[in-house]
Structure 1
Amino acid sequence: MSQTRPQVTTVVNDRASVDAAIESRFSCRAFLRDKPVSRETIEEILSVARRAPSGTNHQPWNVYVLMGEARDSLSRKVCEAHDKVFADPSLAESYRENFDYYPEKWVSPYIDRRRENGWGLYGLLGIQKGEKAKMHAQHQRNYVFFDAPVGLMFTVDKVLGRGSLMDTGMFIQNIMVAARARGLHTCPQAAWDEFATVVKPHIGAPDTQVLLCGMSLGYADETAHVNTFHTPREGVETFTRWLG
């Protein structure tokens, strides 16, 4: 599809809607399973998202869209593996992440924000420290895409550099914003990474690609208590240095 709009002269008249699409994005953890998203809508979202920038326009992203039985059978496979690891933690070595999404050693202030996020969510759900079975069950909600009818998996080729991860991140953000513009919600999920050895064969991703993350896509369950959980953000003054 060729670009038909003159980018340099396009005027965005409704700033409030653009801002609202960004600011209303959150990690939705309960979707309406019985309210499908059409393939046409998904293709529209991906078409918009592909305008994300990338170094030298090399467009490093690959997307795998899972719906119906493809989605359900992957969930069954990964939930089974997740249960096995819970029953026998020594099996975790069999499901090592192929992409170091998180650091090996956490330091402040990042560890503090992570703890605030984790205990904030568990506290909302009434899960107390040490209730491992309940934590396991909540974590496994990732692997059923929080009941969303659509799952997405994102990969890049292993030969590419770290800049490609930044490019793909911008592409993924575009997907989430474009989804909001269509009344949809999303949840980007690093949780799938540790089960890449299960995910990649299922989606047909070659060994030359690395799994970066998954994503749930659908209509939010507005009655679900878990969807009242919204993470805080640092003030602009915390991460900004003005020069000149």
Structure 2
Amino acid sequence: MNVTEAVTSRRSVRQFLDKPVDKAVLEKILTTAQRSPSGGNTQPWSAVVVGGDALKDITAKIKEKAKAAPMGEGMEYAIYPKDIDGRYEEQRRAVGKGMFDAVGLERGDSAGRIAQMAKNWDSFGAPVQLFTYTKKYMGPPQWSDMGMWLQTVMLLLREEGLDSCSQEIWAMYGTYMRELLGIDDDHIFFCGMAIGYRDSDAPINNFEVPRVALGDAIGFRGF
């Protein structure tokens, strides 16, 4: 698989097969991903890879927390800007509509939509979670570095026939996630990433994800 194939075949997978992931493959991927770029070679990312009974324990505990505080508790950063608008909000809404339409959930089916979103806590059936965090004093450039590292991991997963779904939803309970993972108060929790094998037949993994035209996002000068 070349880079273009990895990029174009990558998507946020929301239904995984009940198939284990080899730890040795994950170690290979994460070792290679250490080559990701970062400003001044700071390499600001840290992560915990969780599977098996440890993941089941976190899943059970976060589900209980979500019942007690369904709107979140202990969030350490805003997942979306408060004033998001224009094409950014349009794109966010469009992918949500595509996802819900794919599984046959009408706009007014609040219970069904909540149940679908709650599948996040089960990692959409994936057997592995990668939870990422960094030092609290890190700024926007280092958060950008974390994003580049995560993208590198996602593309290397594709090379191995694996898939992923980055999940900032876990940050709704950021301080609790740090508690569950044994991360100290000097750090901030960023996100989870479900890792496993895609269920290629699942409608939720096959709807078209809209992308803006190149000219709406990129300008060229001097050509």
What's the TM-score once normalised by structure 1's chain length?
A: 0.87
Q: Distance in 1 between matches of 2:126 and 2:24?
A: 17
| Amino acid in structure 2 at the alignment position of 1:22 | V
Deviations 1:161-188 (A, max 9, x none): 2110000100000000000000000001
Q: Which residue of 1 aligns with 2:111?
A: 133
Q: Is the aligned partner of 1:30 residue 2:15?
A: yes
Q: Is the aligned partner of 1:85 residue 2:63?
A: no
Q: Distance in 1 between matches of 2:111 and 2:51?
A: 29
SS in structure 1 at match of 2:212: coil
Q: Is the aligned partner of 1:50 residue 2:28?
A: no
Q: Distance in 1 between matches of 2:16 and 2:96?
A: 20
Deviations 1:34-65 (A, max 9, x none): x1111111111111111111111011000110
| Amino acid in structure 2 at the alignment position of 1:83 | K
SS in structure 1 at match of 2:86: coil
Q: Which residue of 1 aligns with 2:51?
A: 67
Gaps of 5+ in 2: none
| Amino acid in structure 1 at the alignment position of 2:92 | R
Q: Distance in 2 between matches of 1:45 and 1:195?
A: 28
Q: Is the aligned partner of 1:97 residue 2:75?
A: yes
Q: Which residue of 1 aligns with 2:164?
A: 186
Q: Which residue of 2 aligns with 1:17?
A: 2
What's the TM-score once normalised by structure 2's chain length?
A: 0.95
Q: Distance in 1 between matches of 2:212 and 2:118?
A: 29
CA displacement at 1:97 relative to structure 2: 2.0
SS in structure 1 at match of 2:221: coil
Aligned pairs (5 A) from 1:95-244: 95-244=73-222
SS in structure 2 at match of 1:200: helix
Q: Distance in 1 between matches of 2:108 and 2:187?
A: 37
Q: Which residue of 2 aligns with 1:13?
A: none
CA displacement at 1:81 relative to structure 2: 1.9
SS in structure 1 at match of 2:108: coil
Q: Distance in 2 between matches of 1:222 and 1:206?
A: 39
Alignment check: 8 A CA contact 2:37 2:145 kept: yes
Alignment check: 8 A CA contact 1:26 1:230 kept: no
Kindly name which structure, 1 or 2, has the bigger radius of gyration based on alpha carbons: 1
SS in structure 2 at match of 1:95: coil
Deviations 1:68-116 (A, max 9, x none): 0111111111112223334xxxxx3x61421223101221111111111
CA displacement at 1:200 relative to structure 2: 1.1
Greater Cα shift, 163-172 or 116-125: 116-125
SS in structure 1 at match of 2:139: coil
| Amino acid in structure 2 at the alignment position of 1:84 | A
Alignment check: 8 A CA contact 2:10 2:154 kept: yes
Runs of 4+ in 1 over 6 A off after TM superposition: none
Alignment check: 8 A CA contact 2:17 2:198 kept: yes
SS in structure 1 at match of 2:21: coil
SS in structure 2 at match of 1:100: coil
Matched-pair identity in %:
33
Distance 1:131 1:99, change over 3 A: same
Gaps of 5+ in 1: 1-15, 87-91
Q: Distance in 1 between matches of 2:21 and 2:149?
A: 20
